[in-house]
Structure 1
């Protein structure tokens, strides 16, 4: 985050190339299906989007996602084009047999900076059951090994819900064994097919985040959470010593969340604060991605901490956390409401709590 002004540019810009995918993952935000949508951004439109993304500034990070982005045959061309524009191009393909060593090598030669693969179980049975495809676990491990052999940095993404949470220790071991540089732990937002899954409780989430902080201190790979910005509050509290005040942690860190350091362009060009917050600020076919991020009323509101409501609005950590705006939207229809996964209650707050709220978390 150092040096990135989230008022001016996102830390992460995701472009959903397609919603087509051969898997039927239980948590799929896109509710993916095998067929491509006829109104997807074309190659030419995608290159124009990448040109605009470069206007954010040097090294803008762009994630090509899906569905399965490898369903499109222009992925390597787009990676090469974006790299020439000075963008940091990364990719999140599905763990299928289409992800061959040859294709991985071609993507790296085109300038791909990092590849992210998903593991949602510590073994084939648990992962394949969650992903809805026999053989996905082995295909993912094979792709991870191919990335390692070509020295392509690897990230592992994991979804946390009631069905996967007990698998986290085993997945942690896999992340280390695969030589991944980053473990991205995503806390379920109930959208798409994920609506039928069970979220863990706020109290369980708190314990998981405390464990993740311990993992971050003992493993060589980096660790970040997605749609769980209150992990930063947990980290601040765990790191605080007896003499440090609460504001020390608040001044040291700046967080990102939907619309604040994060933006998402759908397969048809709609600009969302996040793929998990499907409220459009406009379409990149008719409006520039930079203007939409900086000037749209939706994005500006999401970056206004004073507009947060409920206990998120009263929280002293709102500047470094602010709660998952996507989860608040999924739960209430209001992106500025309280994040129901966070169990922390500010000392001075006595207003309503989300329905799923657990016991008060002590502040010291």
Structure 2
């Protein structure tokens, strides 16, 4: 059986932006500080324990939020991350300012002593809508080894319940490496038990401290992406640095005999078996799967670091400009780098000739990390173009 290979064949398998991604971003991540008390082994930012005196000030941060609101409706989603954003005492002030401008504000804190109910309530009152927490293992041994601090695993579950109780939407982030990939079914079970609205699965990019960890092979990543699509009827799933999840969604759409069309390898078979065993006694109620959205580095997505440098992604350290020198909308629309990332015909290798290049485009961060060229072929994708 041949799987469909065009976006026209099954347009509902993937969600598309209702606006021009070259005109305005769908989501902007702002690293408000690089300070963090954890020492995560996969940290993109190579975070430090104290705040950088040159990070954007409160006034500069409000100006950035003003710039983001100036795009008009639909305004970009804004996520305040770090480091640990809770290291900034002006965080409620920034959230309230963004909310007052009509921006949808979300938070991505570290689980430390600063993540208190009191501060969460203050941020919720300021207008923050969602909070994401990281869960990188199904056991304290695995997760705490990732975080570099004992006790974070248990504290994460406590924080997640507090976040839900206050009224935030909860998102769980999981970074997948060769060391924890076998725990994904157990992590999925925890995601469901915590009542998360979204499970965001990050595929390790060898940058920052992550250079010391072992990412999945392209074949393993393909197997995990198929398994994620299998379980997407249980929780909304987003993949980070694996845009070929959209390609898989399109290929699988309308195919009845999936195992015939896409052979099941040993890793996917293991993940399936473990998932079935975990839910055998109490199967979760299925939901309508949420299709992945067509957003990629520089194409609907942008990242602003703690000192105001704009990047296509937090995992792609190629600068596009500084908000201290130019307004963010000007950088996003006019940067040569960002414009090139929105032109899939400019990509090298198999990415440039792939039939899915307009809806996938490959992980530009993986391409940059392995070749130094953000337009190069993505080595983490197994697909061979037709």
Return the TM-score normalized by structure 1.
0.90
In the alignment, the residues of structure 1 paired with residue 372 and residue 88 of structure 2 have an alpha-carbon distance, to the nearest angstrom, of 33
Correspondence for 1:317: 356
Offset at 1:324? 0.4
Q: Among 27, 45, 60, which residue is 1:12 paired with?
A: 27
Matched, 1:236 2:275: no
In the alignment, the residues of structure 2 paired with residue 212 and residue 270 of structure 1 have an alpha-carbon distance, to the nearest angstrom, of 33
Correspondence for 1:209: 225
Contact 2:238 2:292 in 1 (8 A): no
Offset at 1:97? 2.2
Correspondence for 2:183: 167
How many residue pairs match? The answer is 336
1:279-331: per-residue Cα shift (whole Å, max 9, x none)?
11110011010010011111111101110110000100001100000110000
Correspondence for 1:333: 372
Please give the root-mean-square deviation of Cα atoms over the aligned residues, in Å.
1.3
Q: Among 99, 110, 130, which residue is 1:83 paired with?
A: 99
Correspondence for 1:265: 304
* Paired residues for 1:1-364 under 5 Å: 1-58=16-73, 59-217=75-233, 219=234, 221-241=235-255, 255-347=294-386
In the alignment, the residues of structure 1 paired with residue 199 and residue 127 of structure 2 have an alpha-carbon distance, to the nearest angstrom, of 22
Gaps of 5+ in 2: 1-15, 257-290
In the alignment, the residues of structure 2 paired with residue 44 and residue 279 of structure 1 have an alpha-carbon distance, to the nearest angstrom, of 26
Contact 2:245 2:292 in 1 (8 A): no
Offset at 1:214? 0.8
In the alignment, the residues of structure 2 paired with residue 206 and residue 11 of structure 1 have an alpha-carbon distance, to the nearest angstrom, of 26
Offset at 1:241? 3.4
In the alignment, the residues of structure 1 paired with residue 194 and residue 187 of structure 2 have an alpha-carbon distance, to the nearest angstrom, of 10
In the alignment, the residues of structure 1 paired with residue 243 and residue 343 of structure 2 have an alpha-carbon distance, to the nearest angstrom, of 16
My pick for the range that moved more, 204-213 or 53-62, is 53-62
User: Matched residue of 1:157: which SS?
Assistant: strand
Contact 2:169 2:196 in 1 (8 A): yes
Offset at 1:254? 6.3
Offset at 1:35? 1.2
User: Matched residue of 2:172: which SS?
Assistant: strand
Gaps of 5+ in 1: 243-251, 348-364
1:135-187: per-residue Cα shift (whole Å, max 9, x none)?
11122111111011112100000001112211111110110000000000000
Offset at 1:2? 3.8
User: Matched residue of 1:147: which SS?
Assistant: helix
Offset at 1:222? 1.1
Distance 1:254 1:19, change over 3 A: closer
Contact 2:310 2:323 in 1 (8 A): yes
User: Matched residue of 2:221: which SS?
Assistant: helix
Offset at 1:119? 0.2
Offset at 1:253? 8.1
Structure with the bigger RCO (C-alpha within 8 Å, sep 6+) is 2
Correspondence for 1:249: none
Offset at 1:57? 2.1
User: Matched residue of 1:216: which SS?
Assistant: coil
Return the TM-score normalized by structure 2.
0.85
Moved over 3 A (4+): none
1:166-210: per-residue Cα shift (whole Å, max 9, x none)?
111111011000000000000011000000100111111011000
Contact 1:97 1:139 in 2 (8 A): no
Contact 1:60 1:86 in 2 (8 A): no
